Amino acid sequence: MMPLREVEDNRRDSALKVSRPGFDDVSTVEGYSGMLAEATTEVFATMVMMEVETLALRPARPNRLIDSVSAVLGVSGGLRGVLAVHCPERVAREICGGLLGETPVEVDAEVKDTIGEMVNMIAGGLKIRLLQQQCEIELAVPSVIAGSSYEVNLLSRAERLLLPFETVAGTFLLEFKYAGKT
């Protein structure tokens, strides 16, 4: 818990910037991260029944993911991109527990399905918010990657944002890479 204290001020600052409603220009990192923060908060409040707090955007993340579960979902149409969520195993299991009522002791099929469905629901929330800005996106299907040591690289030189969230079980990271129209 100690390291969290240090970033708290930073976080409050960014929360002000990030969750501002009525985005005039959606094509900014602040616009997209605001929508993703809202969509994620909504999914956690209505489906996962777990407290979640939006942290400050991160400039980078480690390439290698250790003992984690990731879900990757392609986005096309008005915006070409890919949305991914990276969860440490413990966070993934607790999110599954929040959704299903009982926390699995290991990363089983239910945990993987939950993380895949979570990225799908967050992308659904983004889709609704973009539609209000006359930007219609279409979603592919989620793929789920898990393991003790792996890499997930969202390719192309498109814009990237890394938005972490804090839960009781630890932090997880939302990664969004996007370019213009398909």
Q: Which of 12, 59, 52 is nearest to 36 (CA)?
A: 52
Rounded to a whole number of angstroms, the minimum distance from the CB of residue 146 to another protein is: 5
Range 96-105 burial, b when 16+ CB lie within 10 A, else e: bbbbeeeebe
Rounded to a whole number of angstroms, the minimum distance from the CB of residue 73 to another protein is: 7
Which one, 93 or 177, has the nearer CB to another protein?
Answer: 177
CA 33 to chain centre: 10
* 35 and 125 Cβ atoms separated by less than 8 Å: yes
Rounded to whole angstroms, the Cα distance separating 33 from 182 reads: 21
Which one, 11 or 80, has the nearer CB to another protein?
Answer: 80
Q: Which residues bind another protein (CB under 8 A)?
A: 64, 70, 72-77, 80-82, 84, 112-113, 116, 138-156, 158, 177-179, 182
Which one, 53 or 67, has the nearer CB to another protein?
Answer: 67
Which one, 24 or 106, has the nearer CB to another protein?
Answer: 106
Phi, psi torsion values for 123, nearest 5 degrees: -65, -35
Burial class of residue 181, CB neighbours in 10 A (0-12, 13-18, 19+): exposed
Which one, 10 or 156, has the nearer CB to another protein?
Answer: 156
Rounded to a whole number of angstroms, the minimum distance from the CB of residue 67 to another protein is: 11
Rounded to a whole number of angstroms, the minimum distance from the CB of residue 72 to another protein is: 5
Rounded to a whole number of angstroms, the minimum distance from the CB of residue 110 to another protein is: 12
